Amino acid sequence: MIQNKSDYKRYIKIEKDFYYDSYPIFTKELKTILKFIKLYRKVEYYHNCRKDLLGKIYFFILNHHFEKKSIQYSIFLPLNTIEEGLCIIHLGPIYINQNTKIGKYLKIHPMTTISKNIGKTPTSPKIGNHVWIGPGSRIIGNVTIGDNTVIGANSTVTKSFSNNLTIAGSPA
């Protein structure tokens, strides 16, 4: 997660380059998504690094703006859950539980839910690096998704999978 200003700048550069490398035609929607991710990272930076009074005030203002944008776009990303290289493919509903841990270079489509299970010991998923999550997917409970995994559209993942797999289905 972002620990200092150089981390913040590195995250922003990586995510900007990731978008520009992935899309030959850069649309207004992609610019909007990139601005939203930049705001997300800025809120993380002020939350994690700026403990002075001015930093706390600016965090409060930024976080309020971020929450409004989250509601507007229906994208709910808790702070300090996603490492560098976040790529949201399209605007649309995305929900990620606050206890989820996600590795580097996540590509995620709308209509996706990553959530804890319900019960006596609710636990959240752990997702590795370079994971692509298709539209409409649900990842629920105490699962671990390995690196370089593709989760197909409309899949429901309720068990763990190792690295270098393509998984799909309901249940996957």
Alpha carbon 99 to chain centroid, angstroms = 12
- 127 forms bridges with which residues in the sheet? 102, 145
How do residues 124-156 score in pLDDT, each as one tens digit? 999 999 999 999 999 999 999 999 999 999 999
pTM reported for the whole predicted model: 0.92
Q: Encoding tokens for residue 1?
A: 């997660």
Contact status, residue 89 vs residue 71, Cβ threshold 8 Å:
no
CA atoms within 13 A on the CB side of 155: 17
Predicted confidence (pLDDT) at residue 105 exceeds the cutoff of 80: yes
* Top-confidence residue, 1 or 4: 4
Tens of pLDDT, residue by residue over 18-59, are: 888 888 787 899 999 999 999 999 999 999 999 999 999 999
State the Rg of the chain over Cα. 16
Spatial contact of 139 and 127, defined as CB atoms under 8 Å apart: yes
